[in-house]
Amino acid sequence: MDVNTMGVLHVLNFAKHCPKIKIFMQISTAYVCGEIKDEKIIVQEKPFEMGQTLKESSKLDITEEMNLLKNKIDELRSKNATENTIKNALKDYGIERANLYGWPNTYVFTKAMGEMQLVHHKDNVPLIIIRPTMVTSTLNDPFPGWIEGLRTLDNIICSYGQGKITSFLGHPKTILDIVLNVVNKAFFQCSQDVYDDSYKKFKRLTRLVEVYKPYLFFKGVFDDSNTQNLRRATSNNIEVVGLNFDPNSINWKDYMMNTHIPGLVKYALK
**pLDDT tens for each residue of 204-255:** 677 777 777 888 788 888 898 888 888 888 777 766 666 667 788 889 999 9
Give the residue with greater pLDDT, 263 vs 238: 263
Residues 6+ away with beta carbon under 8 Å from 156? 165, 168, 208, 212
Whether the Cβ atoms of residue 101 and residue 109 lie closer than 8 Å to each other:
yes
- What pLDDT is stored for residue 48 in this prediction? 93
Give the side-chain half-sphere CA count within 13 A for 200. Answer: 6
228 within domain boundaries:
yes
Distance in angstroms (rounded) separating the CA atoms of residues 170 and 75:
39
77 within domain boundaries:
no
pLDDT band at 118 (very low <50, low <70, confident <90, very high): very high
Q: Containing domain of residue 160, as a range?
A: 6-52+104-268
Q: Check pLDDT > 50 for residue 192.
A: no
97 within domain boundaries:
no
- What pLDDT is stored for residue 242 in this prediction? 62
Average pLDDT, the chain: 84
Q: Check pLDDT > 90 for residue 122.
A: yes
70 within domain boundaries:
no
Q: Check pLDDT > 50 for residue 188.
A: no
User: Which SS3 state, helix, strand or coil, does residue 26 take?
Assistant: strand
- What pLDDT is stored for residue 196 in this prediction? 43
190 within domain boundaries:
yes
Determine the longest span between alpha carbons in the chain, in angstroms. 64
Average pLDDT over residues 118-137: 92
What residues act catalytically? 107, 111
Cα-trace Rg, the chain? 20
- Give the tens place of pLDDT for each residue, 26-60: 999 999 999 887 777 899 989 999 999 998 878 89
Structural domain total, the chain: 1
Q: Check pLDDT > 90 for residue 98.
A: yes
188 within domain boundaries:
yes
> Beta strands of the chain (E only): which ranges?
24-27, 42-43, 127-130, 134-135, 178-179, 221-222
231 within domain boundaries:
yes
CA distances for 171 relative to 26, 39, 214, angstroms: 31, 12, 11
Whether the Cβ atoms of residue 147 and residue 259 lie closer than 8 Å to each other:
no
- What pLDDT is stored for residue 191 in this prediction? 32
172 within domain boundaries:
yes
- What pLDDT is stored for residue 189 in this prediction? 31
